[in-house]
Structure 1
């Protein structure tokens, strides 16, 4: 979206309207009460680096081994062979309703938090997570903040602005008539003592922004660190913690993040623990070297990471996948994969497509064809394991099929490269 082209003196009137002292930036949607309990024989799903999946009751876990009870069989595996542990729980007990008012905060270490209440302070952001945990986040630890994260319009504006790699900080502000979200480039200075305004340097002026109309902040001066060796813990309140240290206990996991946060999560609150630690990389977590998107008939559908093209979860063969890429024909995505030995994914037409669809999928390594097939709506998804040792550039190509580009929503679920 193109920023409003008004001079700073007019922007004061455009974006600095206050509703008085009550215009604190507070997002409330009802606190969730969670009681920590002793979790015994927790059901888990364990994914190994060779692609095998183990399911059973968790018996014990240490920094060396994990032990499951699967029926009458007791299974022990070294943690060095484990890439992910998924904890089963009643999804009705925990979680965040999609329509709940919420703020999403991305830190410089990759940690992403979902808050039900946010208050601006001069040196930090005061947040209350949906678990009830209160934390303070210094301004210099934040990469971006999306307020009203449940609003698809605000999320789209944030994603489009991030894709431009702005050289300055950016604020996203709701227009006075509520019809548009406008992006302004400058320097975020922090808030006043009471949190009733965000001070923003726009050219030569310091402009006070009303928190009630603030929709997002991007801190362009703070590059996001790459913590490939970090353990990624996703909890059931929408938070992803990137940890440099973890400690397994009888019924909970303790962790410390690279940005200095600490958390103690009962197993009942954990969704997944990613232990790949540099041995495996999901393509949805990597930046492509090249993106080409050229539809025939439809408007351009930009590729999506970890979501389908409509913004919902990726689904193939009636199974939902947490990670992956979804693209529309014709799309070319190219990735740097030097040092990895294998590419794995499940590919097919995404389940959200209701009509006919047929697309040609090709996968190339340094220009050499590794896989080609036509995928159609209703077909059984294909599970691929392709050797890529020595390959530098991996290219995913989804081309038009017999039905031109109608319905060509192709998903590469769990698309990952393995060392």
Structure 2
């Protein structure tokens, strides 16, 4: 098994946007190195410590670059580790160096560079280099010359050397060191960590702007050193607000990253890479719960009733691997040489080449069927092989073959009997092909050595594609897909709905046309035709069932215009949202706010749309646009009448579930203990109300904002809360009990009486707080999908187009694979504390105002951030707090990074401790905000409880906003990942000055973070 590993990080993992490349031989394969290295590639070798680079004086710059597809932006931190074995003294400045460089365009002309080099005096120093700017350089030169003139120093003479600019350097020490570039806003700061000090040193800064970074490189250069250069490039790590170009990534709980698509679930393992997903079974096993309500069409199910095999979607290229032709080409060339030599013995050298050309010309003009013969099925191969065993049999076989296929042989009739057999053999192998046929040699030549295939031999199959990795599911932390959202849609048919009608028909030829009165004053100039003014046609019901389309992956912006065009057997038809100044038919859009899903209703055209393409164009209010082509697989009937007795259409609804999960779809009703929902891809769900926290109805114009609704969800009470729209378009919150729905009305018990309210007046419903259902202790996956849908369950099957899961309440759900954005696994070998609920919470404020603890956000509700690094998972607390967790999963190790939120402004000081079953396993009585965070890796084997305590420090509670970042528990000990994580200390005021001596932890120079 070949595993491609791009990332190995420890506590800085999670879903933080990062990219890390260990450069040692175990983590970097030779193929990847060949693609990403540059310069003197023979002088760069993979070793256990990293990439070993040796350069003789004068050899080209050599090193490693990030892949071209990789781009990152926002605030970032880049660290690279090096080891110097020999850095020779140069003959000139900057002649020998090793360093780190970044660029917004071409990394060969970097915008910022930090190097370690040897001066001509033999001193080892660090130097930062900014990309030269001609305009700034000229301006600086002019100012410098003016200053010199003012000080009486005179002006440089024409042709003289320019004044040497200042060249700031900083002392370097030790063989192992770490270079760091960190951007906050538009400013990039240089840091270095070596044996000179125990913490990073600030070496200056530059203004780079907020442009995305297109490339990073680690390099070594030896332009004029006194001897060879010898260095080790150990690794590079990038952490940024956004990283693009990595494709699909699978992350393990131990920080390992595999780049590739998940292709199968086999024996409890996730297969990454390899062959595409297998085809679904011929007879789908659709659960009875999805089958059907009479008359209820499930479009996604109709499409998947006879699923198309995955192999058919992307067939294996069985004809691409043909090893025989390459071999034949070499052998054919050898035989053609033998033919030429035979002719030279019979004729003169001058005439021999002409005769060969004439023979080839005759073959082109007379033996055209030969091309077809060259592509024949290799049934004739045994004959050719037999002819090579005996010259007499060969002549007979050749003649027989010519009688059947290649009768005219002018070149053979010119030869005598003694040479005929020999020439026949030569012609079979090479002469009878035109010169350009050498690119496609016959298989017969490959049989000269007796290696021919039997008649019934099958084509050689393509080489088997091996998976990149097979990872146990309980060791997978998550899967992230880098997918661009593209507009998509499907035709759902003609439901019993009527919103629109046809457009105004054009006047027929010969019909009397109204006489238009023109105003000579307002008339356009000659040659200009006045544009026709056609008033907007408002859609109205006409008694015919509309054609129903659904769109997915819309942008979260208002829609300004929609146009649809289709060609049927009875001519073209066009529909439009705003029909002003057009003869297009009006269409209707039903969309809840700026949801990523929408329904479109069109009047069916005169011709059937089954099998026809509909071209959809969307224009948004911000000027951006999108388009898609939808092939209809449903018949359309322009005479299908609406049934007035049919129930009213369903409204869209976003359903909020326990565990921060969400569903979206058509609200089909509310029962005594369950909710019915039709998902956008066609699954019908019956969700227990015990798992529902709220329902946000998808009205075209909301009076209750999504922010207000989310706030109400966080403060659920002991009663249901109905958010109803009054006659004055105001939202009224009514406490009571939701009893269910009847047709298009909600039944709600309020003030000892059951009342009914039209669903069109319901903004939302907050369900009373109930005890959350017990979560399964086993492994389960959380799928985040387009449109904000988040759903958990057991991952059952992985197919090309659908992934089957079993929900927490036991229903089967077919997720469209194209809509999945990420998958996160819980209940495996690692568990985040933020996924668990503490069994006991103790919070004691210093002055009486309590700041409640929060998970996965800081105390203000914004992302967790320490020293420029953002964490998706963690706990935020304020002194004094004590959180106790029951350990029922058989955990062995607790890991976290504990430090202060950036909002603490370096002011906090706390007493921080960790207990396992009341036994103290970590203590820091003075954890400080002005020092780096601390990496913890503590044994909790056999412990029943874990307790995290943050107590008041010497400065009372000022700035005591502590973060337990990536706090998590492992069932088996994680692999060692080096020394404690290191974060930057406070920024010094003077470049080159050491960081403050106060530290919470130490790190060895150059250690992997």
TM-score, normalised to structure 1, is 0.70
Which of 464, 480, 500 is 1:87 aligned to? 480
Residue 290 (structure 1) aligned with residue 845 (structure 2) = no
Q: 1:76 aligns with which of 469, 479, 492?
A: 469
2:257 pairs with 1:54? yes
Pairing partner for 1:310 from 860, 884, 908? 860
Query: Is 2:594 the counterpart of 1:201?
Result: no
Could you report, residue by residue, the CA deviation over 1:189-224 in whole angstroms, capped at 9, with x for unpaired residues? 1123114xx323346322446765655422556751
Question: How far apart, CA to CA, are the structure 2 residues paired with 1:386 and 1:91?
Answer: 41
**Residues 127 and 307 of structure 1: CA distance in aligned 2, closer, same or farther (over 3 Å):** farther
Aligned position for 1:299:
849
Aligned partner of residue 155 in structure 1, secondary structure: helix
Cα deviation, residue 175, structure 1: 10
Q: Does 1:232 align with 2:808?
A: no
Q: 1:159 to 1:405 in 2, by over 3 A?
A: same
Map of 1:19 onto structure 2:
none
Deviation at 1:327, TM superposition (A): 1.5
Q: 1:215-254 to 2 correspondence within 5 Å?
A: 215-218=764-767, 223-237=772-786, 238-250=788-800, 253-254=803-804
CA pair 136-96 structure 1, distance change in 2 beyond 3 A:
farther
Task: State whether residues 120 and 191 of structure 1, in contact with CA within 8 Å, keep that contact through their aligned partners in structure 2.
Answer: no
- Structure 1 residues 14-29: aligned runs within 5 Å: none
Match of 1:170 in 2: 720
Give the Cα–Cα distance (whole angstroms) in 2 for the partners of residues 272 and 210 of structure 1.
38
The 1:414–1:272 alpha-carbon spacing in structure 2 relative to 1, beyond 3 Å, is farther
Tell me the SS of whatever aligns to 1:284. Answer: helix
Equivalents in 2 of 1:254, 1:295: separation in Å? Answer: 48
Residue 357 of structure 1: aligned partner: 908
Aligned to 1:155: 710
Q: Compute the displacement of 1:61 (Å).
A: 4.4
User: Which of 140, 146, 154 matches 2:694?
Assistant: 146
Cα deviation for residue 324 of structure 1 reads 2.2
* Number of corresponding residues: 360
The one of 902, 918, 927 equivalent to 1:367 is 918
Report what 2:966 is aligned to.
414
The alpha-carbon deviation at position 337 of structure 1 amounts to 0.9
Once the 2 structures are TM-superposed, how far is the Cα of residue 359 of structure 1 from its aligned partner? 3.0
Are 2:916 and 1:400 aligned? Answer: no
CA 1:408 to 1:219, structure 2 compared with 1: closer, same or farther past 3 Å?
same
CA distance in 1, matches of 2:655, 2:953: 39
Moved more, 169-178 or 363-372: 169-178
For the residue of structure 2 that corresponds to 1:414, the secondary structure is strand
Deviation at 1:90, TM superposition (A): 5.3
8 Å CA contact 2:473, 2:828 repeated in 1: no
Distance 1:138 1:65 in 2: 29
Deviates more, 1:320-329 or 1:173-182: 173-182
Q: Deviations over 1:289-311 (max 9, x none)?
A: 21122222473221112222222
Structure 2 CA distance, aligned partners of 1:355 and 1:178? 49
Contact 1:104 1:113 in 2 (8 A): yes
In structure 2, the residue corresponding to 1:406 is in which secondary structure?
A: coil
Q: Give the Cα–Cα distance (whole angstroms) in 2 for the partners of residues 378 and 55 of structure 1.
A: 36
CA separation in 1, counterparts of 2:469 and 2:709? Answer: 46
Distance in 2, matches of 1:114 and 1:96, equals 18
Which deviates further from its counterpart, 258-267 or 135-144? 135-144
Question: What is the CA–CA distance in structure 1 between the aligned matches of 2:904 and 2:881, rounded to whole Å?
Answer: 17
SS in 1 for 2:713: helix
Q: Structure 2 CA distance, aligned partners of 1:178 and 1:399?
A: 50
Provide the rounded CA distance (Å) in 2 between the counterparts of 1:263 and 1:222. 28
CA–CA distance in 1 between the matches of 2:468 and 2:479? 16
Partner of 2:933: 381
Q: Structure 2: any 5+ residue segments left out of the alignment? A: 1-245, 275-466, 487-552, 558-592, 596-652, 697-703, 972-1009
- Name the structure where strand makes up a greater proportion of residues: 1
1:345–1:416: 8 Å Cα contact kept in structure 2? yes
Quote how far apart the aligned CAs of 1:77 are: 4.1
CA distance in 2, matches of 1:224, 1:263: 23
Distance (Å, rounded) in 1 between the aligned partners of 2:931 and 2:250: 26
C-alpha separation in 2, matches of 1:122 and 1:210: 13
Residue of structure 2 equivalent to 1:37: none
Displacement of 1:80: 4.7
Aligned partner of residue 688 in structure 2, secondary structure = helix
Q: Determine helix, strand or coil for the equivalent of 2:922.
A: strand
Query: Structure 1, residues 122-155: CA drift from partner, whole Å, max 9, x if none?
Result: 44656577xx446554363452333569745543
> Does 2:822 align with 1:271?
yes
2:249 counterpart (44, 47, 51) = 44
Aligned partners of 1:127 and 1:134 also within 8 Å: no
The CA deviation at 1:387 is 0.9
Q: Secondary structure at the match of 2:898?
A: strand
Q: Check 1:277–1:335 CA distance in 2 against 1; reply closer, same or farther (3 A cut).
A: closer
1:345 equivalent in structure 2: 896
The answer (yes or no) to whether the contact 2:780–2:792 under 8 Å persists in 1 is: yes
- Of 185, 190, 195 in structure 1, the residue corresponding to residue 740 of structure 2 is 190
C-alpha RMSD of matched pairs (Å): 4.0
d(CA) in 2 for partners of 1:175, 1:300: 36
> Quick check: which has more Rg, 1 or 2?
2
Return the alpha-carbon distance in structure 1 between the equivalents of residues 554 and 911 of structure 2.
38
Q: CA deviation at 1:106?
A: 0.7
User: Residues 376 and 366 of structure 1: is their aligned pair in 2 closer, same or farther, counting only changes over 3 Å?
Assistant: same
The structure whose residues are more often helix, as a share, is 2
Counterpart CA distance in 1 for 2:729 and 2:864 is 32
Q: What is the alpha-carbon distance in structure 1 between the residues aligned to residue 851 and residue 824 of structure 2? A: 31
Q: Is the 8 A contact 1:59 1:68 kept in 2?
A: yes
1:58 deviation in Å? 4.0
- CA shift, 1:240, in A, is 3.0
- Do 1:158 and 1:216's aligned partners in 2 also have CA atoms closer than 8 Å? no
Alignment counterpart, residue 256 of structure 1, candidates 792, 795, 806:
806
Structure 2 residue matching 1:121: 3-state secondary structure: strand
Distance 1:65 1:234, change over 3 A: closer
| Aligned residue in 1 for 2:883 | 333
Shift of 1:364: 1.1
Deviation string for 1:347-368 (max 9, x for gaps)? 2222354563333322111221
Deviations 1:73-124 (A, max 9, x none): x8534315623133141577779869967844216xx582143x66462446
Shift of 1:395: 1.0
Paired residue for 2:942, among 367, 390, 393?
Answer: 390
Shift of 1:330: 1.5
Q: Find the aligned partners of 1:90 and 1:172 in 2 and give their Cα distance.
A: 38
Contact 2:721/2:734 (CA < 8 Å) preserved in 1?
yes
Q: Distance in 1 between matches of 2:555 and 2:847?
A: 37
TM-score of the superposed pair, with normalisation by structure 2: 0.32
**Matched residue of 2:964: which SS?**
strand
